[in-house]
């Protein structure tokens, strides 16, 4: 059914098949796509003989707000957070499958914008959209599954960090959290670039493969905040991680000082965004002594033997709560 240009078309006007016909041409096709949408399943190349697979669900009102993020923003974010998970294993993404639940009265333009955002986030990553499903419901739900190829490498797990390793981060920390807080305070004008970082995180995909090639002992996607996520590495690896305030502040907090100051807060408060802010989808990895972290990785701490009776993650050797950072306890 053709879209009527005289007014906003709704999903209920074009129907499921009609919407799919409009969406498919907007979605990227990748080299690994052996069979795209239209049959019972897609067929995706898995040259390694193993496939990495991850899934995330984004719900309107909880994971995104339509008044804060455009449809392309939501599509971008849904793709990026899954592609970052693939990168965090040291794999390259090959394919996305996307489920969309939407109210029948949703404008078709929103669904097409979502597809455009998915496509934009995939550009340059090697991933294509190979399949999907549509259904209707009271709020928008976007589910994304990402597949990837390990190219012959061992997956980089959370459990491999060893005492003496350097902890390093590639990508952004605190920018998305700061942007979110600015939106929450109605002060997006203070730093539009941080609001943009919240709307469209840019995970350092290539750094994931580089870290795996360099010999990273552990790696993960920082989605819930640095301290919380490094706590997962520490517990999986049976170690303690000690962050270095100066290193983290220089690399990640200093660029946030102007926004922090504009809110009338003391300079050190910018570190809250760095330690606790999620959704930047940086990659945090550990590298053995003598291994130079690849370009793009900034050292932020070191791995200690597990310290019994203390938190999994320390800051300059001290528990974060005794430093007044109890909000960030993992």
* Residues forming the site for a copy of itself (CB under 8 A): 34-35, 38-63, 84-86, 88-89, 91, 95, 97-101, 130-139, 141, 143, 145-148, 150, 155, 157-159, 219-221, 236
Distance of closest approach, residue 257 Cβ to a copy of itself, in angstroms: 31
| Closer Cβ to a copy of itself, 21 or 265, answer by number | 21
| Closer Cβ to a copy of itself, 171 or 255, answer by number | 171
Select from 96, 99, 102, 132 the least CA-distant residue to 24. Answer: 132
Distance of closest approach, residue 256 Cβ to a copy of itself, in angstroms: 26
40 annotated to bind ligand: yes
56 annotated to bind ligand: yes
251/249 Cα distance (integer angstroms)? 6
163/101 Cα distance (integer angstroms)? 46
Contact 309/182 with Cβ under 8 angstroms? no
| Closer Cβ to a copy of itself, 146 or 166, answer by number | 146
Contact 95/44 with Cβ under 8 angstroms? yes
133 annotated to bind ligand: yes
**23 burial via Cβ count (<10 Å: 0-12, 13-18, 19+):** buried
| Closer Cβ to a copy of itself, 47 or 289, answer by number | 47
75 annotated to bind ligand: no
| Closer Cβ to a copy of itself, 96 or 190, answer by number | 96
Using the structure block, give the residue that is written with the tokens 């200093």: 254
Distance of closest approach, residue 148 Cβ to a copy of itself, in angstroms: 7
221 annotated to bind ligand: yes
Contact 77/199 with Cβ under 8 angstroms? yes
Q: Distances from the Cα of 162 to the Cαs of 157, 250, 312, in angstroms?
A: 12, 25, 14
Distance of closest approach, residue 58 Cβ to a copy of itself, in angstroms: 7
68 annotated to bind ligand: no
Task: Decide the pairing of beta strands 92-102 and 128-136.
Answer: parallel
Distance of closest approach, residue 49 Cβ to a copy of itself, in angstroms: 6
55 annotated to bind ligand: yes
CA-angle at 172, arms to 214 and 286, nearest 5°? 30
Distance of closest approach, residue 95 Cβ to a copy of itself, in angstroms: 7
Select from 8, 97, 100, 91 the least CA-distant residue to 60. Answer: 100
Binding-site sequence positions for ATP: 132-133, 158, 223
Feature table: binding site: 40, 54-56, 63, 85, 132-133, 158, 221, 223-224, 279, 325
Instruction: Enumerate the known binding-site residues for Mg(2+).
Output: 40, 54-56, 85, 133, 221, 224
Indicate the annotated binding residues for substrate.
63, 279, 325
């Amino acid at each position: 059914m053709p879209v009527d240009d005289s007014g906003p078309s709704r999903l209920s006007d074009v129907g499921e098949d009609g919407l799919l016909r409009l969406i498919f041409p907007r979605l990227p096709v990748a080299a690994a796509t052996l069979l795209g949408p239209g049959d019972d399943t897609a067929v995706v190349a898995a040259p390694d003989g193993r496939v990495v697979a991850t899934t995330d669900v984004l719900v309107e009102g909880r994971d995104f707000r339509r008044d804060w993020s455009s449809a392309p923003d939501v599509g971008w974010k849904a793709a990026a957070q899954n592609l970052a998970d693939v990168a965090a294993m040291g794999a390259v993404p090959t394919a996305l499958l996307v489920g969309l639940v939407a109210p029948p009265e949703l404008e078709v333009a929103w669904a097409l914008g979502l597809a455009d955002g998915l496509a934009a986030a995939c550009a340059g990553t090697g991933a294509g959209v190979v399949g999907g499903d549509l259904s209707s419901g009271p709020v928008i739900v976007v589910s994304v599954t990402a597949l990837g190829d390990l190219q012959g490498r061992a997956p980089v797990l959370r459990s491999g960090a060893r005492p003496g390793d350097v902890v390093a981060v590639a990508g952004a920390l605190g920018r998305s959290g700061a942007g979110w807080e600015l939106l929450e305070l109605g002060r997006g004008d203070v730093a539009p670039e941080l609001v943009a970082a919240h709307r469209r995180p840019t995970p350092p995909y290539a750094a994931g493969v580089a870290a795996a090639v360099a010999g990273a002992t552990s790696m993960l996607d920082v989605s819930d905040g640095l301290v919380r996520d490094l706590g997962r590495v520490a517990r999986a690896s049976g170690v303690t991680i000690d962050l270095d305030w100066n290193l983290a502040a220089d690399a990640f907090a200093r660029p946030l000082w102007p926004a922090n100051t504009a809110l009338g807060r003391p300079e050190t408060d910018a570190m809250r965004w760095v330690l606790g802010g999620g959704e930047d989808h940086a990659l945090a990895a550990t590298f053995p002594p003598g291994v130079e972290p690849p370009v793009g990785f900034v050292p932020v701490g070191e791995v200690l033997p597990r310290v019994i009776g203390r938190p999994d993650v320390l800051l300059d050797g001290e528990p974060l709560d005794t430093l007044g950072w109890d909000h960030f306890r993992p």
